[in-house]
Structure 1
Amino acid sequence: MTSINGYPARSGVRAGEVLRLHIATSAPRFRVDFYRWGAAPQHTGHAEWPGRTADPGTFDRDWQWPAYEFSVPPEWRSGVYIAVLSTEPSSCTPPMDSREARILVVVTPAARSDRKILYKIPTFTYHAYNTAGGGSLYSASQVTMQRPGGGVGGPVKGLPDPYDTSSPRQTFAHWDAPFITWMEENGIESDFCTDLDLHEGRHLNDGYRLLMSAGHDEYWSTDTRQTVTAFRDAGGNIANFGANTCWWRVNVAANGAGLSCAKFPPGAPAGADPDSSYGCPDRWWESEPENALLGVSYRNGGGHWEGPRTPLGFTVTDGDHWIFSGTGLKTGDVLGREAALIGYECDGAAYELDAIARPRPTGQDGTPKDFEILGIAQLPSDWNFAAREPAASPRAATFGLYTAAGTVFTAATTDWARLLATDPQVASITRNVITRLS
């Protein structure tokens, strides 16, 4: 049986520059077809090369597979591109998502563009869950990004999503792809980058008004967070259409090829659960709460990982807010309950009720006191909850926004993107946020 797989030297590349791919195959020749993801996959080019074999490596070391260089045309639009590897010609468009023979590439603009939105692809999180080579950041403290997988083309840790079995949760296809499809179908143009780009200080200062992410953007480096915080402090806006965001801190290898994360407190016994432990070195909230940037944290929310969950939606707390314009929602209505909008992981802020029984942040967890809780969903006791500091408020998903120099919005649930195509109210809120903040 003919085999083929590969990975990029780095996931991000500027249009007009050279993309280096590492590919191993038992075939004498192979082909790479590039498709840009959008309203529909668009074929943008191909290359053919002689094949070379190589053995699989381990999860913690560069696989050092044979290298091939492809000159990215300068006219390629910024976007997410899927490189489809094949050993035989095909007359039809292949599926873009696969656990092998696919490589994810993010093309950034050749020069400063006039677009106002920059969309962040969470490659650190993709690789944290990537199990190619027998391990991930859930079984080890260090992984290489020089291996197949990382969004597409590799095996993934995690349980299946009962609400969308077409792809694993921790992949590009699951949340980012439908969000990008919806954007392009609705005429919303953006440029794209990876979190490694932001870690290295690239792109965010090129005139953008809005930084966006969606789904599950869990792993952030210190430099990525500092870059994003500086963007906010200079008046840039942020829209986070996801949850469990900035939960773990990763340290990036000097060459950008690997990640490490210290999840366990010193002396932790074998089999310990870092989510229920304290003193975890690389959990953000214990040293620099992510609430200070995002307004919310997973520690005040929770997760329901296996099987269907009790359908939950956000109870609207201020139907007159601009975010609900055109939705028909009023104070007290519930957004997205029928389709289980809340989950599979969600974020929250510690809160108290004011004189009119509206939730307000206490600020004790680092959430800015002017964070407006616009929707709330108290979580059932059968969900999974992480350790947190003592807090009087129950665990609840809280979506909303605050303004420092720039405005920061959070949807506070990973599954926001799943409802975009089917729930007009979710779509209207998304459009309102993007239009106003960009």
Structure 2
Amino acid sequence: MIPKNKPELHRRDVLKDVAAASLASAMVPFGFHAQAQDLGPASQTPAPTANPLIQEENAKVGAKDWQLTRVRLDKTGGLRSPPIEGYCSKQSVQAGEQLEFFVSTDPIQRFKIEIFRTGYYSGRGARLMTTLGPFEGRPQKLPEVGDKRIRECEWAASASLTIPDDWPSGVYLGRLTTESDSTGAGYWQNYTVFIVRDERPADILLQCSDNTWQAYNQWPDGDSLYTHPKGGQGPWGDVSFDRPYGKYPQIFENPQTFGSGEWLCFEFPLAYWLEKHGYDVTYCSNSDMVTPERGLKCKAFISNGHDEYWDIRQYESVVKLRDAGVNLLFLTGNAVCWVSPYRNSQKDIPKRILFRGGPYGGEHRWAELREQEHGPFPHRGPDEGYLIGARNVEPVNGGGDWVCTNPDHWIFEGTGMQRGEVIPGLIGWEYHGDPPVDIEGLEIVAEGTALQGGINPQRWASTIYPGPKGNFVFNASTIWWCQDLASPPGHWLPWSHWSRPHGPDDRVQRITHNLLRRALA
């Protein structure tokens, strides 16, 4: 609900005729059990509508081999894998549209592309959709450092694919594998990543945080929004989607991050868990939310993982979703922090370059502090607290326990949680705090202290407030929420600031079921 003393903020057809099956019959009644169990929704409350599309897809045979096995760095401490690396022509694509793959191999060698859709698939985590190739690979030119220190590839397309009509929405990985090289050293692998979206009405729209994946991407040699010689956080750097994703440079040394952005690190456990339980979920890129139409066809919108960089049009779209009655779940931390306008690539392809245009925060002190620290910016966005229910604070990174403070709230039904009970290590490595006190009906459901570097304290807060049409906005206040939902193949638990999440926890699973049942009722 918009506070009364604030101005208004900028703000189902496929298979719906198939009888939807209740999830409840397939799930064990929920109580408080060991952390490793995921027992599903409680039988005494309405279960979400299962989607035949998701159920039928996940009943198909999953792949036994879809992860990266052999990767090779260019140097000790390097970020790229020259034997094979590549990127896609679009962040997201619909059935019937063409996607191009740009691949470089050094030395010259043949390679294939195996396309996998990530999901549950009886616990295997992905399904092989098709194999392309083999193709003749060759080295492609490393881009020069351009204006605003951009590294923008102009590679020749190596392969293309028209997305089949029967491919469901989801996050897809293209596993690039070379044939054995001339030295007999064996094959090398890397990923590309893309999203297949659709336009069908759905219960849940899960937005991937790929703007943030790209902002932190340091391919080829330390080139991200954080590595500019003028300083790590200013409007002087550009990043392009026309380049491979290098190894993720923070939190852990995980070879699964080559080419996959931050999907396997910080977001895949939520998708795996949703599909395990048959939730009616569809997927989109940050770039698909510059207009609200996709979200307005859904009952719930989820921001997942590390969703820091938003074009102002994304913000306006999500405000419109809330005001139209869509439920918003920020299962994330550090969300909606930086205004990041899109612009066209040098080939005039829309939404392929972004930069840090300025802070969200309006006239709030946190926005002012960020400008004092990093200099003037050409853009400033509205106060994100009036959308999320809490703000990005300073310091915004650290770690700690998620502490229940309002156990009588309906989100805790069936968890058995008591006031002061903790979920260990769930806060991190960035979070939200400082809730706006004038949002009517806002409640703090959990709060506590995170420590930056194990030393510097900062208050965080998990909140929920009512929307204008019986909907709600929930803020989990941590990037690591999905770490406690599932631990799928290809995923490693992160750590940071002398703190770490512990993995699947039935309390987090139950809270999330409670939120979704209410959102989808």
TM-score range, shorter chain: 0.7 to 0.9
What letter matches 1:116 in structure 2?
Answer: D
- Decide whether the 8 Å contact of 1:20 with 1:69 is kept in 2: yes
Q: Secondary structure at the match of 1:36?
A: strand
Could you tell me how far 1:160 is from its partner in structure 2? 2.7
Aligned length: 379
Aligned to 1:315: 404
Could you tell me how far 1:214 is from its partner in structure 2? 1.6
Could you tell me how far 1:322 is from its partner in structure 2? 1.2
Q: Secondary structure at the match of 2:283?
A: strand
What letter matches 2:110 in structure 1?
Answer: R
Aligned to 1:436: 518
Could you tell me how far 1:380 is from its partner in structure 2? 4.3
Structure 2 length-normalised TM: 0.67
Aligned to 1:6: 86
Q: Secondary structure at the match of 1:414?
A: coil
Aligned to 2:308: 218
Q: Secondary structure at the match of 2:103?
A: strand
Return closer, same or farther for 1:434/1:160 CA change in 2, 3 Å cut-off.
same
Alignment match of 1:349 (pick from 425, 434, 451): 434
Return closer, same or farther for 1:33/1:145 CA change in 2, 3 Å cut-off.
same
Aligned to 1:329: 417
- Decide whether the 8 Å contact of 2:402 with 2:423 is kept in 1: yes
2 CA distance for matches of 1:100 and 1:248? 33
Q: Percent identity?
A: 26
Aligned to 1:23: 103
Return closer, same or farther for 1:65/1:120 CA change in 2, 3 Å cut-off.
same
Aligned to 1:179: 270
What letter matches 1:414 in structure 2?
Answer: I
Could you tell me how far 1:114 is from its partner in structure 2? 4.2
Uncovered stretches (5+) of structure 1, i.e. residues with no partner: 90-98, 265-272, 351-360, 386-393
Aligned to 1:38: 119
Aligned to 1:413: 478
What letter matches 2:409 in structure 1?
Answer: H
Could you tell me how far 1:157 is from its partner in structure 2? 3.1
1 CA distance for matches of 2:205 and 2:194? 16
Aligned to 2:250: 158
Q: Secondary structure at the match of 1:156?
A: coil
What letter matches 1:328 in structure 2?
Answer: G
- Decide whether the 8 Å contact of 1:296 with 1:349 is kept in 2: yes
2 CA distance for matches of 1:167 and 1:10? 19
Greater RCO between the two (CA within 8 Å, min separation 6)? Answer: 2
2 CA distance for matches of 1:403 and 1:155? 40
Aligned to 1:120: 207
Return closer, same or farther for 1:87/1:100 CA change in 2, 3 Å cut-off.
closer
2 CA distance for matches of 1:190 and 1:323? 21
Aligned to 1:426: 508
User: Which stretch of structure 1 is more off in the superposition, 47-56 or 406-415?
Assistant: 47-56
User: Any residues of structure 2 matched to 1:89-108 within 5 Å, and which?
Assistant: 101-108=190-197
Aligned to 1:235: 325
What letter matches 1:299 in structure 2?
Answer: V
Return closer, same or farther for 1:201/1:374 CA change in 2, 3 Å cut-off.
closer
- Decide whether the 8 Å contact of 1:301 with 1:397 is kept in 2: no
User: Which stretch of structure 1 is more off in the superposition, 274-283 or 211-220?
Assistant: 274-283
Could you tell me how far 1:143 is from its partner in structure 2? 1.0
1 CA distance for matches of 2:113 and 2:293? 28
- Decide whether the 8 Å contact of 1:302 with 1:383 is kept in 2: no
Could you tell me how far 1:347 is from its partner in structure 2? 0.6
Could you tell me how far 1:124 is from its partner in structure 2? 0.4
Q: Secondary structure at the match of 2:509?
A: helix
User: Any residues of structure 2 matched to 1:7-406 within 5 Å, and which?
Assistant: 7-25=87-105, 26-39=107-120, 40-48=125-133, 49-57=135-143, 58=145, 60-67=150-157, 68-88=159-179, 101-109=190-198, 112-134=199-221, 135-140=223-228, 141-149=237-245, 154-160=246-252, 171-199=262-290, 203-205=294-296, 207-254=297-344, 255-262=350-357, 277=373, 280-281=376-377, 287-299=381-393, 302-304=396-398, 311-317=400-406, 319-330=407-418, 332-337=419-424, 340-350=425-435, 361-363=436-438, 368-380=439-451, 395-405=458-468, 406=471
- Decide whether the 8 Å contact of 1:327 with 1:425 is kept in 2: yes
Structure 1 length-normalised TM: 0.79
2 CA distance for matches of 1:120 and 1:416? 15
- Decide whether the 8 Å contact of 2:91 with 2:285 is kept in 1: yes
Aligned to 2:8: none
Return closer, same or farther for 1:249/1:420 CA change in 2, 3 Å cut-off.
same
**Alpha-carbon displacement from aligned partner over 1:206-249 (angstroms, at most 9, x marks no partner):** x2111112211010011111111111111111111110001111
1 CA distance for matches of 2:216 and 2:137? 29
1 CA distance for matches of 2:91 and 2:452? 40
Q: Secondary structure at the match of 1:203?
A: helix
2 CA distance for matches of 1:429 and 1:220? 27
Q: Secondary structure at the match of 2:387?
A: helix
